[in-house]
Amino acid sequence: MSEKQELIKQMLELQKQFVEYEHANGLDPADYYAPSTDHTLNGFRQKYRDLAMKVVELAHEEKGSHA
């Protein structure tokens, strides 16, 4: 599996976990945008963003374009 495919797999798993959390608990915007340090969603947005940006970088490398 390529690095890009592995990153996409991780992103899909994070999405699945997020949807499961939302269905079980609802979603308060404060918990999404500014979760406490012990909250399940703490670090979620940053991790997902980092994975997404790496996928974009790899896609640009594949096509020889620049971000």
Task: Determine the Cα–Cα distance for residues 8 and 44; give it in Å rounded to an integer.
Answer: 15
Q: Among all chains, which residue has been given the structure tokens 């699945």? A: 16
Q: Categorize the per-residue pLDDT at 63 as very low, low, confident or very high, splitting at 50, 70 and 90.
A: confident
Q: How many independent structural domains does the chain possess?
A: 1
8, two tokens: 């996409």
Dump pLDDT digits (tens) for 15-56. Answer: 999 999 999 999 999 999 999 999 999 999 999 999 999 999
* The pLDDT of residue 67 is above 60: no
Q: pTM here?
A: 0.85
DSSP 29: H
65 pLDDT band, cuts 50/70/90, is confident
User: Which tokens is 38 given?
Assistant: 């012990």
Range of the domain at 14: 3-63
The packing angle between helices 3-25 and 44-63, to 10°, is 150
